[in-house]
Amino acid sequence: MKKALLLVLATAFISGIAIFLNKFALAKINPFLFTTCKNFVVMLFLFSILFFKREFPKFKSFSKKVLLKLALVGFIGGEIQFLLFF
């Protein structure tokens, strides 16, 4: 229960900071460009976790169809919904 509570609080803290910073970024940058860059940074972060945990060979074993579906989920769930919001 303690771990779950810490994760919830960490998520709320990170979300609060992200919303605050996004307000300033979107005032200066095109929202489409901002969203694309933000999602690209997240992708690099996730790939670096796979690489440093030496889990990348498992990821490379995915078929092209599975990778395409993952990319589609990221595009629809991360890019399109944010752009439609604005």
DSSP symbols for the chain: -HHHHHHHHHHHHHHHHHHHHHHHHHHHS-HHHHHHHHHHHHHHHHHHHHHHTT-HHHHHTS-HHHHHHHHHHHIIIIIIHHHHH-
Contact 32, 83 (CB under 8 A): yes
Q: Kindly indicate the confidence band of residue 86, based on its pLDDT and cuts at 50, 70 and 90.
A: low
d(C-alpha 72, C-alpha 80), whole Å: 10
Q: Which residue has the higher pLDDT, 78 or 39?
A: 39
For the chain, give the percent of residues with pLDDT over 70: 94
What's the confidence (pLDDT) of residue 71? 82
Model pTM score: 0.54
